[in-house]
Structure 1
Amino acid sequence: MDKITFLQIFSFIFFFFSIISANIDENIIKPSEKFFNFYGRYDFSDKNQIKFDYPGFAIEFSFIGSGFKILLDDGLNDFNVIIDKKLHKIIKTKKGTQIYIGANNLKKKIHNVLITKKTESFEKPSVFKGIILNTDSKILNPPCRPKYKIEFIGDSITVGYGNESRSIKCKDFKNYTNNYFSYASIASRELNAEASIIAISGKGVVRNYGEKSEKSAKPMPYYFNKTLLTSEKPFWNFKRWKPNIVVICLGTNDFSTEPKPSKELFIKEYRKLISTIRGKYGNIKIFIMGSPTLIEPLNTYLEEISKKERIKLITQPKTPENQLGCDWHPNVYAHQQIASILIKELKKYLNNI
């Protein structure tokens, strides 16, 4: 019997994995196909992959069958897998492109799936490359999109930072952060609205948390024109998606530490942000919301802005200590209370459009 050479073994292995790779590629339902709804800002420069990095970004689809897998290139974030409006599992990603089991052994019926970015990251965008259905499953047209559209502009409170913790002390806040249970996501679901969440922990209107100068180089308004927080380009195309409502919840970081911006500077920059929003969306309904963790001087300044801009200010009571999660941020229960106050005000407007 002839000896099997190293080259022959290598050739066989290469051929074997090439077949597997080809079969996987053939079975991938790619992001460019008509079967997905995407919620939030994303870069679609490459039609076979979606890049995104803001928390709460969501991918939605429907299928009939027992299960599916998800192709993600990440390594920094966790994802919620919501099936038929119930949290099915959480995916903790690994570095590089990986195939993750979304679900297996489901009842062979129609299922609606929502995959949401649970956490936030600052190093690079997440990349969605498609799904692979089980052999007994079939993709369907995506669910109908919600009736309304709301854009949220905020900081760590809007992110949902540390909201699943029962303690203010956390070894790893990422494990306890879940945007799906933030006030923004809770309110959107209750109002039958899709959400675009533009939120970054630590950002202020003028000054970011802990920075030495009174005015930061890149506060939250700097990111409003960007598609991705981790990349300077591409700029966001505001014609792609126009909200019915914009909710701004900023100011906590501006006044959390010294040096705090002056009243004049804060009001000037906040009004400039409002002007930028109107410049992009036209005659849009804007609500500004107070912080549940820092009341003064923020509410006083927001009241002045509210009067000058003729827009509604929604104040929030201070979150009690027994409702705080990581690093003094509202926990899930507190987010539900924040959302209920917000919902009451937004309903008044949405019911009349």
Structure 2
Amino acid sequence: MLVASASASAAAMALAGTSAVAGATTPAEDGVRTTVHTAGRVEDGGDVLRYSWPGVYFEGRIRGTGVGIVLDDPAADYDVQVDGATVATLVTPGRTTHWVKGLRDGVHTVRLVKRNDTPWSTSAFGGFVAAPGGAVLARPAARSRQIEFVGDSLTVGYGNLSTSRDCDGEQLKRTTNVDVGYGALTARRLRADHQINAYSGLGMVRNYNGGTPEVTYRTFYDRALLNVPGDVWQNPGTWRPGLVVVHLGTNDFSTPLNPGEPWTDESLAAAYRGAYGAFVQKLRTRYGPRTTILAVGAGPFAGHVEQVVKERADAGDRRVRYWRLDDTGFDYSGCHWHYSARDHRLLADRLTSFVADLPIRW
């Protein structure tokens, strides 16, 4: 298959709802969302969907010999998948329409997924476009199961495709792929739609090495557009996860306290437990009593997470469960000692097995 890029002016026309290719079909007349399936946190602008979180994906169906992907994104990378196979990786595509041509004439599924985290930027997707003589078909059905993953760089898939632990900024961007991270892998194995609401470097109350103390992960959790202060994601009513997996704490405790930070080891631990408990309550209020919340513990924060879960259970909330992450056999060969792609597969194996035995109300 050949992958080509249309001109910026053609992309602008497609984003505006007008096809730049004679005979092509664009979904923008009725709104992009009517012809694509997405479970991610998106802001619906009618002829364009805007988003920021990593791993946001769009799925569609077309009939014909080619499909165009309308994008406006100067920061993120994407994989394009047709009929289950990756046919292109788009590196910071900018404002353009990318074409996949040479398909057999017939019905095809197409999936676009944002590979990495770009919280400083807003991404925009203008829909799928069929090649001349083809058509954009009704969107694929949503999956009956939904899983939300909350985390930091370990959940983002930070540098998981790198062949070395030493990475510069450019290498980190190109080798981060959340779609081969443990969250996406677990969701696929459980045949579930998913959100990866993860932000590198942030913690529950303290960020990596005490950086940017004016914000934490909780500052951004409610947003769809991470770089827009005060933004609040509007759940269209279709996102009702049966499972929420929380893997936050590595940044809070992985580095020693610096002079000037407002913590002692004891007060940091107490603040972490208090904020974690409040965050779990936020999830419970948002999603209701049927959702299972899985709190992941690892390293120096495992005991604190376990204590929070015990307190919830003692208060009568038995759908908050604790899972101690088993990293036996991990090589941590991703950028800066993060999980490698192999580590993510091992973790997904173990998490999938654990989740499969939970009494989740999907």
1:302 paired residue number: 305
1:181 paired residue number: 180
Question: Helix, strand or coil: the match of 2:208?
Answer: coil
2:42 paired residue number: 42
Question: Does 2:287 correspond to 1:281?
Answer: yes
Check whether the contact 1:81–1:90 (CA below 8 A) recurs between aligned residues: yes
Question: Helix, strand or coil: the match of 2:110?
Answer: strand
C-alpha separation between the residues in 1 aligned to 2:321 and 2:359? 14
Change (3 A) 1:56 1:23: closer
1:121 paired residue number: 118
Q: Which moved more, 1:104-113 or 1:55-64?
A: 104-113
C-alpha separation between the residues in 2 aligned to 1:183 and 1:159? 9
2:73 paired residue number: 74
Change (3 A) 1:239 1:278: farther
Shift of 1:122: 2.4
Shift of 1:150: 0.8
C-alpha separation between the residues in 2 aligned to 1:153 and 1:321? 21
Question: Does 2:314 correspond to 1:314?
Answer: no
What TM-score do the two structures reach when normalised by structure 2?
A: 0.84
Shift of 1:265: 1.1
Check whether the contact 2:43–2:234 (CA below 8 A) recurs between aligned residues: no
After superposition, the C-alpha distances for 1:215-234 in whole angstroms (9 at most, x for unaligned) are x3221122222222111243
C-alpha separation between the residues in 2 aligned to 1:140 and 1:239? 22
2:252 paired residue number: 254
Q: Of residues 265, 272, 276 in structure 2, which corresponds to 1:270?
A: 276
What TM-score do the two structures reach when normalised by structure 1?
A: 0.86
Question: Does 2:355 correspond to 1:346?
Answer: yes
Q: Which moved more, 1:161-170 or 1:186-195?
A: 161-170
After superposition, the C-alpha distances for 1:191-247 in whole angstroms (9 at most, x for unaligned) are 01100111100010110112258xx32211222222221112431234622211111
Runs of 4+ in 1 over 6 A off after TM superposition: none
After superposition, the C-alpha distances for 1:239-271 in whole angstroms (9 at most, x for unaligned) are 622211111000000011132662211111111
Check whether the contact 1:158–1:249 (CA below 8 A) recurs between aligned residues: yes
Q: CA RMSD in A?
A: 2.2
Q: Which moved more, 1:343-352 or 1:301-310?
A: 343-352
Q: Of residues 148, 152, 157 in structure 2, which corresponds to 1:151?
A: 148
2:317 paired residue number: none
Shift of 1:121: 0.6
**Count of aligned pairs between the two proteins:** 327
After superposition, the C-alpha distances for 1:161-212 in whole angstroms (9 at most, x for unaligned) are 1011122112320110001101000000110110011110001011011225
Q: Which moved more, 1:70-79 or 1:80-89?
A: 80-89
Q: Which amino acid is the alignment partner of residue 300 of structure 1?
A: G
Q: Which amino acid is the alignment partner of residue 277 of structure 1?
A: L
Change (3 A) 1:99 1:151: same
C-alpha separation between the residues in 2 aligned to 1:173 and 1:212? 19
Shift of 1:27: 4.1
Shift of 1:63: 1.1
Question: Helix, strand or coil: the match of 1:189?
Answer: helix
C-alpha separation between the residues in 2 aligned to 1:139 and 1:279? 38
C-alpha separation between the residues in 1 aligned to 2:147 and 2:49? 21
Check whether the contact 2:128–2:136 (CA below 8 A) recurs between aligned residues: no
Change (3 A) 1:330 1:23: closer
Question: Does 2:148 correspond to 1:141?
Answer: no
Shift of 1:80: 0.8
Q: Of residues 98, 101, 117 in structure 2, which corresponds to 1:100?
A: 98
Q: Of residues 237, 244, 268 in structure 1, which corresponds to 2:234?
A: 237
Change (3 A) 1:125 1:350: farther
Check whether the contact 1:83–1:114 (CA below 8 A) recurs between aligned residues: yes
Question: Does 2:219 correspond to 1:222?
Answer: yes
Structure 1 stretches lacking a partner, 5+ long: 1-16
After superposition, the C-alpha distances for 1:54-92 in whole angstroms (9 at most, x for unaligned) are 001011101122111111111101101121122221111
After superposition, the C-alpha distances for 1:109-137 in whole angstroms (9 at most, x for unaligned) are 22111100011112221011123211132
Change (3 A) 1:23 1:247: closer
C-alpha separation between the residues in 1 aligned to 2:123 and 2:211? 31
Shift of 1:105: 0.4
Check whether the contact 1:238–1:281 (CA below 8 A) recurs between aligned residues: no
C-alpha separation between the residues in 2 aligned to 1:322 and 1:212? 27
Change (3 A) 1:351 1:124: closer
C-alpha separation between the residues in 1 aligned to 2:244 and 2:200? 19
Q: Of residues 11, 20, 23 in structure 2, which corresponds to 1:24?
A: 20
Change (3 A) 1:100 1:223: same
